Amino acid sequence: MSKLKTKLFAVAAALLCAGTALAQDSGALIDLLVRKGVLNAQEAEDLRAELVKDFVANTSAGKLNLSSSLTDFRLTGDVRIRYEGRGARLPTGEDQARDRFRYRMRAALTGKLLNNWGFGVRLETSTSSRSSNVTMGDDAGPFAKNNDGVFLGQVYATWTPTVEWTLTAGRMANPLATSLMVWDGDINPEGLAEQFRTRRGNNEFFATAAQFVYSTSGTQDPFAAITPANIAGTEDLFLTAWQGGYKRYVKGATTFFQIAPVVYAYLGTDQRANPAAFNSFMTATNAAPVNNLFVLEIPVEYSWLAANGVPLRAWADLAINFDAGRRAAKFGRPDLDGEDKAIQIGFQYGKASLPGEWDVRIFYQSVGAFALDSNLVDSDLFDSRTNMQGWVLGGNYALGAAAQLSLTYASAGRKQDSIIAPGSGDIGANNALGQYRLLQVDLNVKF
C-alpha cells in the first residue's frame, strides 16, 4: 500500500471509528489537518470523497442518491415568531404607533464539491432587501397568502483554491466584518468577493475585497437622443469594499482582540446628477441618495472570559464619510459638514448557547445625517435612518439547544434637529421623525 493510501486510511479509520455522524461532519477536522501539515490539499479532497462514499453506501442517506462530486451537504435554517411595537413622535408633538405580529423562515442548502468548489442556496420569506419578516394578517383578506411567498435570499458559488483563499460569486451573506450600524444583517449583497485568512501562532490576518452590483439601469445605451436628461442614470451602479483585519488570540480561542478597517467606494454615481433613482439631491421625499459617499469604517472587538467563566465582549465601530462636505452642500446645508461620523459602542455579558444560559447586551449609537448610506443601515433599531442617536438594550435566553427567547428595546431621537432623519423606515412622516422607540420579543428555533 502506498504512503498516501496508508495516510488516508489511518485518518479515515479514525473518523469512521468515531461514528458515521462525525464522518459526515468532518470538514472542519480535515481543514485542521491540512493546516497542521498532516494532509496536503489533494489528500484532503481524496479523504472527503472517501468519507462521503462510505456515508452514502452505509447509511439511509444513500437513498437520497447524492452526487458523487459532493463531499459535504447540509440543510440548516431557522424559524422566528416576533411581536414588534414601534412608536414615534414628530416635532409637532403628534404620536404614531405600529404594533404587529410577524414571522420569518429561512432554509439553506450548502455543499462542498470535489476540487475545492462549493455552493449555497437559501430560501426565505419576504421580498424586502433588509428584512425576511412577514406581518401576520397583512394580506388581501383573512388568512390569505398574498404576502407569504418564499424567495431566493442567497444563491452563490465558491472556490477555495487553498485553505487560505475563498472566492465567492452570486448573492451571498455579507463577507465583511462589520456592525448593524453600517449594514443591516438581513442584506445579502450581490456580486463578487475575495477573502484571504491565515494564522501564524496567536496572530491571524485576514483581508476581503468585494465588488457588489448595487443597482442596474437595464439598458445602458438608450436609443433616445443623447442629452443630459437621458444619460443620467443609464449606467450600472457598483459598491466596492476593501477590508484588512488582524486578530490576536490572547488566551485560547475565547480571549482575543480584533480590528478590521474597511473602505467603501461607489462607482457610477457621478452620472446620476439629474433626478433619478439614487440621485444627488437629498430631500424629504428622496432621502436615500448615494452621491458623495467615500466611507471608512473601523470595527474593533475584544472578547474574554470573566473570573467565573462567563463570556464577555466589548466592541466599538467608528465610521467617517470623507466626502460628507459635498454631500451636505448638495442637500443645501454646507454648514453641517461635521455630520460626517457614526459611532457605536457596546458591551455584552454572557452567551446563550446551552439550555438555561442567557446573555444581555447594551450599546449606544450615533449616526450623522451625511455619514452613511441609509439604504444599508439596520431597518429595525433606528428605523432605517441616519441623523439618529440613542440606546439599545437586548438579551437572549436559551430555552433549549436550538430554541431561544429574545428581547430587544431601542430608544432614539434625531441627532440634528434642524434637518430630516433620512431613510425609508416603517414609521414617521416624510423623514420628519423626532423620537423613536422599538420593542421586539422573539421566539427563535434553529435547525
**Per-residue pLDDT averaged across 54-66, rounded?**
62
Name the band, by pLDDT with cuts 50, 70 and 90, for residue 185.
very high
Mean pLDDT of 378-394: 95
Given a cut of 70, is residue 199 above it in pLDDT?
yes
CA distance 367 to 349: 25
Total domains present in the chain: 2
The region, left, alpha or beta by phi > 0 then psi within -120 to 50, assigned to residue 102 is: beta
290's CB contacts (< 8 A; 6+ apart) are 214, 237, 266, 269, 278, 373, 375
Q: How confident is the model at residue 8 (pLDDT cuts 50, 70, 90)?
A: low
251 beta partners: 255
What is the pLDDT at residue 235? 73
Q: Would the pLDDT of 421 be above 80? A: yes
Residue 53 pLDDT more than 80?
no
**Pairing relation of β-strands 255-259 and 134-135?**
unpaired
Please check the confidence at residue 11 and state whether its pLDDT lies above 70: no
86 and 189 inside one domain:
yes
Tell me, what's the pLDDT at 125?
96
Q: What is the pLDDT of residue 441?
A: 98
Which domain-ending residue is among 41, 68, 95? 68
* Residue 419: all three cell numbers together: 434637518
Residues 19 and 126 in one domain: no
Q: Are strands 311-321 and 262-267 parallel, antiparallel or unpaired?
A: unpaired
pLDDT-derived band at 329 (thresholds 50, 70, 90) equals confident
Residues 48 and 131 reside in one and the same domain: no
The tens digit of pLDDT for each residue in 334-381 reads: 999 999 999 999 999 999 999 999 999 999 999 999 999 999 999 999
pLDDT band for 423, please (50, 70, 90 cuts): confident
Q: What does pTM read for this prediction? A: 0.82
Which pLDDT value is given to residue 356?
95
**Long-range contacts, stretch 285-288, CB < 8 angstroms, 24+ apart:** 285/430, 287/374, 287/420, 287/422, 287/423, 287/424, 287/431, 288/373, 288/374, 288/375, 288/422, 288/423, 288/424
- Looking at the predicted structure, is the pLDDT value of residue 224 above 60? no
What confidence score (pLDDT) does residue 92 get?
84
Does residue 19 surpass a pLDDT of 50?
no
Q: Which three cell numbers stand for residue 5?
A: 493510501
More confident residue, 74 or 227: 74
User: Model confidence over 269-298: pLDDT tens digits?
Assistant: 765 444 444 444 556 556 678 888 999 999
147-166 confidence digits (pLDDT tens): 889 999 999 999 999 999 99
- Asked whether residue 61 falls in the same domain as residue 75, the answer is no
Residues 154 and 214 in one domain: yes
Are 269 and 400 part of one and the same domain?
A: yes
Percent of the chain with pLDDT over 70: 81
What's the CATH code of the domain at 362?
Answer: 2.40.160.10
Domain extent for 128: 69-446
**pLDDT at 89 exceeding the cut of 70:** yes
Q: Judge whether 55 and 61 are in contact, CB under 8 Å.
A: yes
Same domain as 80, residue 47 = no
The region of weakest confidence among 122-136, 229-243, 420-434 is 229-243
Residue type, 139: D
Q: Taking 70 as the threshold, does the pLDDT of residue 116 lie above it?
A: yes
The most confident of 129-138, 166-175, 248-257, 418-427, by mean pLDDT: 166-175
27 and 86 housed in the same domain: no
- The answer on 105 and 87 residing in a single domain is yes
Residue after which a domain boundary falls, among 68, 96, 124: 68
Compute the average pLDDT of residues 102-131: 94
Residue 272 pLDDT: 47
CA torsion angle for 269, 275, 277, 279 (degrees, to 10)?
40
Written as nine digits, the cell of 159 is: 472556490
The grid cell for 134 is 412577514
pLDDT for residue 332 is more than 90: no
Q: 64 pLDDT exceeds 80?
A: no
37 and 163 both lie in a single domain: no
97 and 39 assigned to the same domain? no
Q: Give burial (CB, 10 Å; 0-12/13-18/19+) of 143.
A: exposed
Same structural domain, 76 and 132:
yes
- End residue of a domain, out of 68, 87, 114: 68
CA distance 18 to 13: 9
